[in-house]
């Protein structure tokens, strides 16, 4: 999904379960000369399941 403020930045968003908790996880992978870096942008509870 594109960033609201910087549409050139793309993020991956996943819905997952950690134990009994449903969460949304948004992250971005950035390629660097020394390798790829994964940065967690945000995570929050998925209220749909509660």
pLDDT at 33: 92
SS3 track for 1-50: CECCCCCCCECEEEEEEECCEEEEEEEEEEEECCEEEEEEEEEEECHHHC
Decide if 2 is inside a domain. no
Tokens encoding 46? 């998925």
pLDDT at 2: 63
Decide if 45 is inside a domain. yes
The count of domains in the chain is: 1
Decide if 16 is inside a domain. yes
pLDDT at 10: 77
Decide if 38 is inside a domain. yes
Decide if 5 is inside a domain. no
Q: pTM of the predicted model, to two decimals?
A: 0.60
Domain range for 23 is 12-49
The string of pLDDT tens digits covering residues 1-50 is: 666 776 667 788 889 998 888 998 888 888 889 998 888 888 888 887 65
Task: Report the length, in residues, of the chain.
Answer: 50
Decide if 4 is inside a domain. no
Decide if 6 is inside a domain. no
């Amino acid at each position: 999904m594109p960033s609201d403020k910087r549409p050139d930045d793309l993020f991956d968003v996943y819905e997952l379960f950690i134990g009994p908790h449903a969460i949304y996880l948004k992250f971005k992978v950035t390629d660097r000369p020394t390798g790829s870096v994964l940065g967690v942008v945000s995570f929050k509870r998925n209220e749909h399941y509660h």
